[in-house]
A and B are shown apart, each in its own frame.
Chain A
Amino acid sequence: MGIFEFEDCLLKHHIRTRAWLPLCSKRREAIRSASSKAARQRPLRYFTFCAAGAIDVLMLDVESVIHPSAGGHFESVCFFDRTSEDVIETQKRIPGAVGFPGDFVSVVLVADPEEAVFVDDLSALESPPDQQDTEQTHSMQRLRAQHRAFIMQFPFDVVNLDLEGFLFKPNDPIPGQMVNCLRKICEWQRKPFEVRTGSRKTVTMQLEGFGLMFTTQVGPPNLGENYLGMLSDCVLKNLEGDASLRQAFRESTGFDDHLTLRDSNFLRFFELAAPKVLLDVLVEKDWYVDPADGISLYEIERESKDGPYRMLHLVMNVVKQSPALDRRPPGDMPVEVRTAYRDVVSALFSKGAVLVTEDIIEKDGLQQHLGFVKARAKKYSGEKQGGHRLA
């Protein structure tokens, strides 16, 4: 077993190689096809969540989608890990990557009155004139500083929210903290970023699209009526106004209405509702899912002491709405976006998730590939590092 949970799981590696890698490659191709040389040569900006030993980053390195800089640093990679220890272990494997320790939700959602106006990401760390030099003060300073430092890292070409827990938590107020985090992320994804064109020159760019990978545990079983209602409404909204979607729903699920589906087959209901929530957040924040690939769904069943549970993986290519929100009449949605939205929902309603089991994966090939990836981890962590090259 590796030091990180699920690092050696071949089912997960199947998803990495069959779903994540093609999406990341697609984003890399988008960068390579940019018109200006500087934009073409910039590295892929990658965010990963609960990096699980950075296997995803190392896989992208093995597959030449991400490269360390000339100095050997993964400076275009940013990650969050739950504990300080995990951040340290992950940084050993991908040196130079920007690691944030702590609770992702707390950092993203911290109340920061200056969030919309701050220009200097250091200001939160400056000594406050009126507060005492105590740990309580420091801890709030650090949280805000992390929040701002994280915002400064945006946008990313690929956002990998590889959540190990649940998207919805019964005790969270509606719509759930993670949904609000997603809203923030979608906002920050619209931030301009700078690309170096020379030793001291930069140009400012904006992303036209990004890859989104999202993972959540299906459930929880004790999800309250408020959440179930929110998810039901989310599905109902589409079924109500579109007979062909209702037909697709009926054929795919075998049920006439979403409430019966919810009560009879929660797994299939969740497969429809959870992606719909994400899709709605994206549209609300001026993005939409590229209908060419839609939202790909994969599932893995895992064992635990409380019985088996399922992990749902969502993979999608996200595109910026055009014209942008601030150039449209209120309530207006571009036709292109409206059509894409319907196509993506239709595809969601028509087919379920692919259950990844040992029977469908190519074990030997995956094992070998994982071996290459882990060898890369050893190389970067210095386990194979010898002496120095001379100056």
Chain B
Amino acid sequence: MPNKIRVHERALGHLSRGLYRSPASALRELVSNAWDADATVVRIDTNYPNFFQISVEDNGDGFSKAEFERLMEGGIGNSPKRPADATSVHERPLIGRLGIGLLGIAQICGAFTISSVPKSGEAFKARVRLWDLLRTRLDAKDQQVVHEDGAVTIVEIGEYEFEESDVKKQPGGTRIIADAVHPTFSHAFQQSLKFEKYQQPPLDWGKALRIVSDVRSLQELGDYWRLLWELSASCPVPYLSGKALPDGLIADDQKQLTQYDFAVFVDGIRLAKPVYLHGNPGGYTTRKIGRQKERVYARDLVFHGYVLVQEGTQLHPDELRGILIRIKNVGIGYYDPSMLDYRINEGPRSRWLTGEILVDEGLEDALNIDRDSFNRFHPEYRAVQSYLHKLLQEKIFPRVYEQIDVRSEEKAKKKKKVRREQLKKVVAQATGTAVRLRFEGGVAGAEEAPRVEVKQSKEGTELVMPEPSSLKTKKAYRELAAAVLSLFETALRETTRERQRETFTRLLLELLSEW
């Protein structure tokens, strides 16, 4: 008979204090809880500029004292799984399971106060205190933390007690205040305000995004900006407008997001998704990904989205580059600059690309426990990856290369025009008359030497030149060679060798000064 494999309870204890990789990820989980609780407003307050406390409050359905007790006494991570197609009022697809998100806040503080006024059930306020040095004590099998109760091993990660308060007078919803914020958190955030490029984010997020798009990386603006930006990227909030991206790429999603009626404020700033791309001189290559439905191991995988390439111009900040996957509107991790491990090196072109894949069904099993990254070998993840790579390889980048050719051609034409104008200007100074260029003769590969004629008439000077393409030089120098021959011929009109030399030198230098 095969033996059973078990996970020790202490493993869960370890997880309770190290689940998320950034404060934004931890706060995102609380925002997700608020979304599921039908909140229409979530307010995050960081106590800027001191960061001595951080709070998250929502106006959602809240949860009762009994439910809180159940969660604290073994219920975290043990909630019944919601059906995949469960929705709330406002038709929101439900995101998570209440409980695990609560622990997220433990990453940045040693204690917090939680109060909730539920739609039904008893309101409460409780103080939660998490044990110090938990990992060390778990490893040392500290009796206060790990103890046996009959056949069961109990792992305690902290304690809570209810507080007397007038919480019932508060409006409905949940409020979590982490007042015992870890000094390292306060330190890092306070320090980031001293960065050279730091400036206080304006309350208008549209204006704040302009500041963000002026820096190469969010790190230049510091951790506070990173927190705002990451929350704006990951929370299920609308875009700045339905026209935040060209070609109606997000118009339908914006309509949907607006219908969800969900706002997230951080220190009074109402967040919107951090993309607003308009007015790029090279334009945009865009591709809307319509609803894709695939079957993977007998399960449905449904997603849609878009890919956008800002032609010829790097996206700023760096953090906007790549592909962001959202599950039920919540960003998983951040924009992935590897584009889900795209195997072709596209050089600088990959730094022009941004996109989102919104997964409506599936992929949740591919989430790692931090809910911030994926198991890259999960079949559903591979299916999304494969779709995206095919799209990039067959549709997006070929189009980008076409656009590069078009732009190169336009650029060359423009350059040619400017150079010819320069040649006319230089010759006009020497002859004192208006100059016209005429190209004739000259056959590519012809053996005869190219000739330039300078014809003077009442209308002005006409330079009769060989077609540059007929000149036997490297392609890049043909235009220059034709111009130099013209200047030479113009200089030859002088009467003495000395004056010819002097005129040629002057004209040549003047030509090259603007070439």
Contact = CB atoms under 8 A, between A and B. Distances in A.
A352 B193 CA distance: 48
Contacts of B187: 122, 125-126
B388 interface: no
Contact of A88 (B57, B129, B201): B57
B190 interface: yes
Interface string A92-108: 10011011110000000
A135 B200 contact: no
B203 A95 contact: yes
A126 B206 CA distance: 35
A224 interface: no
Give chain A's interface residue range (CB within 8 Å of chain B).
35 or more
A118 B113 CA distance: 32
Given A88-B55, A145-B186, A135 B201 contact: no
A267 B445 CA distance: 113
Interface in A140-173: 141-142, 145-146, 149
A388 interface: yes
Interface in A153-212: none
B276 interface: yes
Nearest to B48: A96
A121 B209 CA distance: 29
Given A84-B113, A133-B132, A391-B206, A101 B184 contact: no
Given A388-B240, A391-B240, A88 B110 contact: no
Given A84-B113, A85-B177, 8 more contacts: A71-B204, A92-B43, A96-B267, A99-B47, A101-B47, A101-B52, A380-B268, A388-B240
B361 interface: no
A134 B132 contact: yes
Given A101-B47, A138-B110, A84 B55 contact: yes
Contacts of B276: 390-391
Nearest to A70: B202
B53 A101 contact: yes
17 contacts: A84-B177, A88-B45, A91-B47, A95-B203, A96-B267, A101-B47, A101-B179, A125-B183, A125-B184, A133-B132, A142-B52, A142-B186, A146-B50, A389-B204, A389-B206, A391-B206, A391-B210
A185 B119 CA distance: 46
Contact of A132 (B133, B180, B186, B268): B133
List 7 tightest A-B contacts by C-beta distance, closest first.
A95-B268, A72-B203, A71-B202, A125-B187, A134-B132, A391-B206, A135-B110
Given A72-B204, A73-B200, A132-B133, A100 B265 contact: no
B206 A390 contact: yes
B182 interface: yes
A312 B448 CA distance: 108
Contacts of B207: 71, 389, 391
B268 A87 contact: no
A367 B507 CA distance: 83
A381 B183 CA distance: 28
A133 B131 CA distance: 11
A84 B179 contact: yes
A152 B215 CA distance: 29
Q: Which of B48, B180, B190, B267 has the most CB of A within 10 A?
A: B48
B425 interface: no
A127 interface: yes
A98 to B, nearest CB: 6
B52 A145 contact: yes
Contact of B52 (A69, A100, A126, A391): A100
Contacts of B181: 142
A385 interface: yes
Nearest to A381: B268
Q: Which of B184, B186, B206 has the most CB of A within 10 A?
A: B186
B209 to A, nearest CB: 5
A84 B110 contact: no
Contacts of A95: 203, 267-268
Contact of B133 (A124, A133, A141): A133
B272 interface: yes
Nearest to B210: A391
Contacts of B399: none
A98 B49 contact: yes
Contacts of B132: 132-136
A149 B206 CA distance: 30
Nearest to B203: A72
Interface in B21-42: none
A75 interface: yes
A382 interface: yes
B256 interface: no
Contacts of A368: none
Given A92-B268, A122-B187, A71 B182 contact: no
A337 to B, nearest CB: 36
A151 to B, nearest CB: 12
Contacts of B133: 132-134
A127 B55 contact: no
A126 B129 CA distance: 22
Contacts of A390: 206, 240-241, 276
B270 interface: yes
B180 A135 contact: yes
B242 to A, nearest CB: 11
A71 B183 contact: no
B200 A96 contact: yes
A206 B495 CA distance: 78
Interface in A51-77: 69-73, 75
A85 B203 CA distance: 22
B205 interface: yes
B191 interface: yes
Nearest to A383: B41
A125 B268 contact: no
Nearest to B258: A387
A14 B504 CA distance: 89
A132 to B, nearest CB: 7
Nearest to B199: A71
Given A99-B47, A122-B190, A141-B183, A91 B270 contact: no
A138 B52 contact: no
A304 interface: no
A139 interface: yes
A221 to B, nearest CB: 28
Given A101-B47, A391-B206, A71 B200 contact: yes
A390 B210 CA distance: 10
A125 B267 CA distance: 22
B111 interface: yes
A382 B43 CA distance: 10
A133 B204 CA distance: 38
Contacts of B205: 388
A139 B53 CA distance: 12
A385 B270 contact: yes
Contacts of A380: 268
Nearest to A85: B177
B184 A127 contact: yes
A149 B47 CA distance: 12
Contacts of A135: 110-111, 129, 132, 180
